[in-house]
Each structure stands twice: as C-alpha cells, then as structure tokens.
Structure 1
Amino acid sequence: MSLPRLFKPFQQVHGASVHPLLTKWFESELGQELLEEEQDILDRVLPSMFGYHLVQTGIGRPHWLAGTSTIHNKLYVSEKPQHHDQYRCVCSRLDELALATESVDVAILHHSLDFDSSPHRALREISRAVIPGGRIVIVGFNPWSIWGLGRFFLMQTAGMPWSGNFISPYRLSDWLKLLDFHVEGYESTAFGLPTANRRTRKLFNWIAYLGQRIWQQRGGVYVLVAVKQVSTLTPIKPRFRTVKDTLVNIPIAGIAKPSTRHQCNPGSSSES
C-alpha cells in the first residue's frame, strides 16, 4: 500500500503553467537540437506504419513530428485550441480522451506521459483508442541516462524538463504489457551533456561519442514503438457425453398376451 506524497509532482502544483514553460524550453538551443534528433528517428519509423487515422499528443506549443507518415487523416490532441495547416486539433485531456474506442491506427505521444499527473491513466486511454494491430509511438525522457542523472540535481529548481516524470522504458514496457501491447522496438538519442552552453557541450563531445557506441540504450530521450495485440477467439469443443443405449431387451415370448374375449351376441344365451 502506497501513502500519499507530501510534495506533489511539479505538473500537479503548477497546472497549466507547464505548457508555456516547456514551450520556452523547446525554443532554446538545446531544445531545438533535441527536436531534430527526435524527428530523425521518427522519420525512419513512421513511413512503415499504415492506416487511416493518426493522432499526436504533446505538451506546450505543438511540434508536428508526423510529416513523413503516409496516413491521410491526422489529428493533434491538445488541451488548448491550436491552428495549423498540417493537422486538425481535438481539444481534450489526455486522461479523458475524446476519441472513439478502437478508432486510431497510430498514436504518437511526444513527452505527454512525462508531464501528465496520471501517466498510467493517460496511457490506458490511448490504448483504448488504438485499434487491434495499431501502434503507439512514445517519446520520453530516460531516467537511466546522463540526463536522468542531472535531473536529480535540477528537479528541485522547478525547471524544465527536469521536473517531469521521467518514466523508465522498462517500467513503461510493463504497463504496455498489461494493456495487451507488445514492444516492437526501442531507440534512444541525446547522449551528450544536458547543458544549454554550446561550448561546454563541444568540450565534452567525447561523452556523446562513447554513449552512442557503448550505452546505445542509455540516451537522454527514447522512442518506443508498441503494437496492440489482436485478440483471437479459440473455439473450444464442448465435451458432450455420448448417450449410450440403456434399454434392456426384454424377450417378447415371456410377455403374457391379453385374454381372448368372446364376441357378445344379443340373442345368444350364456348358458350351455
């Protein structure tokens, strides 16, 4: 049994202020470099996914990452109205998703679970909307990385993105397994130091070089793809008991025949 936390997560305390703060961080030099690396991975993943409807979610100002997808109908789920030429916006909370059940072929979660107050419930809502055989593409911050290590020193400053959830991909895979999803693949990026100082990043560029070759799944950001399992019904033959012949053959010769009655004539006498 878990007890209630004394210090609430950052996104619960500040509420809607998470959106402008994260938008500002993605507009920084470090945030722009991270978006380019994430876009590079998604550009290699999305063209192989087909269907009729694609949904992308995110926090803050929308960063449309599904440009290389061949799916025609594309939606962006946001808590605030958004206007863009590449997508149509659906105003909805992620944990109360205003989408029909089994109506989405591909769902992209761009750091949505990192800054949601109830990420497990949000993931359950997304899984409800995905059709059997559909895919979920999750982009999130990796706690088992240099970025995750720096989070322990920066999360108390209420800065972005260090105050997010930073859900482990292994924990996330367990959640997906409970929702009947199978993890197809996993890639990570952002192996350098999480600092906005360009000179410092270049000075320690050798860390990113080693990370790409030694810690290939320990990047600061991961992209995880999972497919929803198709539920099949296996017919089970009913175990009917064969009805055997339980009748006993009785010989007819031993059965007494009914007595023969004389025909009654009105004019005849019964006396001899």
Structure 2
Amino acid sequence: MKPARISKHIQAPSSWQALSNGQWASELLQARLDEWCPKIFGYHFLKIGGLSCELASMHCNVPHHIHLDMTNPHRNVTATPEALPFIEKSIDAVLIANQLEYSADPHGMLREIDRVLVDDGYLLIGGFNPFSLYGITSVLPWKRKKYPWCGRLFTPYRVKDWLGVLNYEVVHHESFAILPATKHEVCWAWAENALVDYFSSLGCMYFIVARKRTVPLKPVKPGWLLRRRLTTAGANLSQMGKGAHSKTRSQDKP
C-alpha cells in the first residue's frame, strides 16, 4: 500500500464542470446530501473545496454555511484545507466532496478538520472508488491527466480506517453508481437497480457520514459498584451494632 502523504502538489478541481461526467457525479452526491442534511443540527456548517461549495444544503437545519476554497466564486472564506482559520471545536458539521484525493497529506487534512469540529459533530465525505469501472480507467494513458483520475483515489475502507484512528464513528456508508454515466438514463437506472444488491461495493462513488466521538478524561464509576459498596458498609455497621448490643447485655448480667 502506497503512503498517503506525498511531496507532490496536486491541484484540486474548483468546479464539477472540470470533472468528466461532473454533472452526473454531483447530482448523485447531492441526492445523498439532501437525505442527511435534515438530520444535522448546530450553528456552523463548513464546506471545504470548490466541489463542496457548489453542492446545495438548503434543507439543512444549520443556519450559517461557510464555503471555503481558494478559487471557487461561491466561496466566502479563502483558505486551504490544511490550515483552517477557525478556533478549536467551533464547527458543527463539515462536508468534503472529493478533496482527500488531491491532498498531499490527507491525514493532516482530517486532523485539521478534527481540530475545528465540535464533539459529536458530523463529517460528511464523498469520493470516487478506485476499484470500480469508473476508477480503473485511470490506467489509460489519455485519462491520467484528467479529473478525477489525476488525483489519488482512495478506497472507502481506507478512509474509514483513517476515521477510526481519529476516534470517529461511521454511522453511514454507501457505495453507489456501479455503472458509469451513459446517455441512456433509463437503461442506466434499470441496470443500476438490478446490480446494486450484488455489486454495491464496486460502486463508482461512495458517501460516508461519521461522528466525532470523545472519551471523558475522568471515567464515571458504574452505579452498581457504588451501591454494592454502600450495601457492604451498611451490613458491617449493623453487625457492629449487634455485637455491641450483645456485649452490653452480657455485662449487665450478674
């Protein structure tokens, strides 16, 4: 397995139009986002990258949306994902759509997101699966320099492993779009429904929803142990009382 961190800089796409079949991919990811947005609550929702900025989140219950990128016209904050200009634990939800593939240090990006995300906050990740009909076309010489194949595609299981190291709980994982986009949408939809139950792990795209979990520094003692100690102490006191009472009676006898 190749290391995740590299020294080469890869320019991330600033718009879905830069990707091959970008509109098709954005519509599929938008459908998953629309399903999860009503389940997220908080005050601040951060979208990282130009692709995330172009995804709508009108059904989200979080009032303040932050669009972070370097070049996308929809941005309202100009910064890089590796150096987020926010204080610790100030963001309630983060969306990164196809950003890990173009990061020289994806581990560092996830650690930076973990720094600004509140406890029990949501992290939504979308990406392309390298082990799919869409991903394996990166071996073709005329595809290697085009988006999204010019980036480093990571499997969803590797991304979930990174999240586990940071103590995130994956609450939802879905792989979809087993067949690449075609001009015949009706035939594509029929084939997709027929294959999804058998080859879902080979989907061209994946969508992961994870929650940040924290372990308290001071562990809470279980209640049954405390009750047991109180019961034992009460029993000892009663035995001591009985012993003292019997001793007094024996002393009172002539």
Q: TM-score range by the shorter chain?
A: 0.7 to 0.9
Q: Aligned to 2:112, which of 115, 119, 125?
A: 125
1:140-155 alignment runs, 5 A limit: 140-153=127-140
The higher radius of gyration belongs to 1
Q: Cα offset for 1:203?
A: 6.9
Unmatched segments (≥5 aa) in structure 1: 237-272
Q: Cα offset for 1:208?
A: 2.9
Which residue number corresponds to residue 159 of structure 1? 146
Q: Secondary structure at the match of 2:147?
A: coil
Q: Secondary structure at the match of 1:19?
A: coil
Q: Aligned to 1:229, which of 206, 213, 216?
A: 213
| Structure 2 letter corresponding to 1:165 | R
Which residue number corresponds to residue 124 of structure 2? 137
Q: Which has the higher helix share?
A: 2
| Structure 2 letter corresponding to 1:19 | P
| Structure 1 letter corresponding to 2:210 | A
Q: Cα offset for 1:188?
A: 2.1
Q: Cα offset for 1:71?
A: 0.5
> Which string of whole-angstrom CA distances, capped at 9 and with x for unpartnered residues, describes residues 6-35 of structure 1?
x976xx2xx54x436x54334x6x221221
Q: TM-score, normalised by structure 2?
A: 0.75
Q: Aligned to 1:53, which of 22, 44, 57?
A: 44
Which residue number corresponds to residue 165 of structure 2? 178
Q: Secondary structure at the match of 1:146?
A: coil
Q: Residues 81 and 90 of structure 1 are in contact (CA less than 8 Å); yes or no, is this contact kept in structure 2?
A: no
State the superposition RMSD in angstroms. 3.1
Q: Residues 105 and 131 of structure 1 are in contact (CA less than 8 Å); yes or no, is this contact kept in structure 2?
A: yes
User: How far apart are the structure 2 equivalents of 1:70 and 1:204?
Assistant: 33
User: How far apart are the structure 2 equivalents of 1:204 and 1:40?
Assistant: 17
Which residue number corresponds to residue 99 of structure 2? 112
Unmatched segments (≥5 aa) in structure 2: 222-254
* Length, aligned pairs only: 220
Q: State percent identity of aligned pairs.
A: 26
Q: TM-score, normalised by structure 1?
A: 0.70
